[in-house]
Amino acid sequence: MNKARLTGVLLVLLAAGLAGAVRVHASARPHLAVLRPSAANCGGSLWRMKTLSDRDRRRVTLAPRGTTLAAITSRRSPRPQPGRRVTPFQKQTWEIVAEITQYRLEGGELRVELFDDNGYMNAVVPSPSCLVRVARGRNAMVEAWKRFTSCVRPTTEWQPFGGVAYVRGVGYWSQRRGVHGTAANGAELHPVTSFRIVSGCG
């Protein structure tokens, strides 16, 4: 085999090896998948609201107000689901302490199920890849994602957790209601801006 042909074969083998390594790496670390910010990749038509990059983002108070899961889930929900920030709940960052029962990756987001006082609610952390430059609290949301995924390795399947955490997030009215693990009134903390896990990690 001449030198030129040998060099070509080696280059082909090297390229194939690198491609295989990339595939293995991507499958081994699914929570690091890079997404293009869009409705399709980042939570649907209201993805701007879910990433705090909507036109009303400046109306949100980022300083957290302490409350309870029960207080949030007892709020009266607006009908229909608002497409803009029109309620006080949506214009405030809230902080609660609750048990994290389970979690999974879902459509460019990390969805976490919270439980306290016989009630459930969801909290959702957007993927850092979905956070555009104008998103308020962008660094805080990225840190929340890193803090949670440094403790667990989420996949698209529900996984149990069982730890307790202080969770901060902006109020959001979801269409998810009447399903086990969600608030009956559709309330969520979405996006989450801070996780402080006090038990159950490590």
Q: Name the residue ranges covered by the structural domains of the chain.
A: 3-32, 47-199
Chain segment 93-124, per-residue pLDDT in tens: 999 999 999 999 998 899 999 999 999 999 99
SS (H, E, C) the chain: CCHHHHHHHHHHHHHHHHHHHHHHHHHHCHHHCCCCCCCCCCCCCCHHHHCCCCCCHHHCEEEEEECCHHHHHCCCCCCCCCCCCCCHHHHEEEEEEEEEEEEEEECCEEEEEEEECCEEEEEEEECHHHCCCCCCCHHHHHHHHHHHHCCCCCCCCCEEEEEEEEEEEEEEECCCCCCCCCCCCCEEEEEEEEEEEEECCC
What are 110's two structure tokens?
């990390």
Average the pLDDT over 37-42 and give the result: 90
**Is 5 a residue whose pLDDT tops 70?**
no
Band (202; pLDDT cuts 50, 70, 90) = low
Tokens at 33, concatenated: 């998948």
User: Was domain 47-199 assigned CATH 3.90.180.10?
Assistant: no
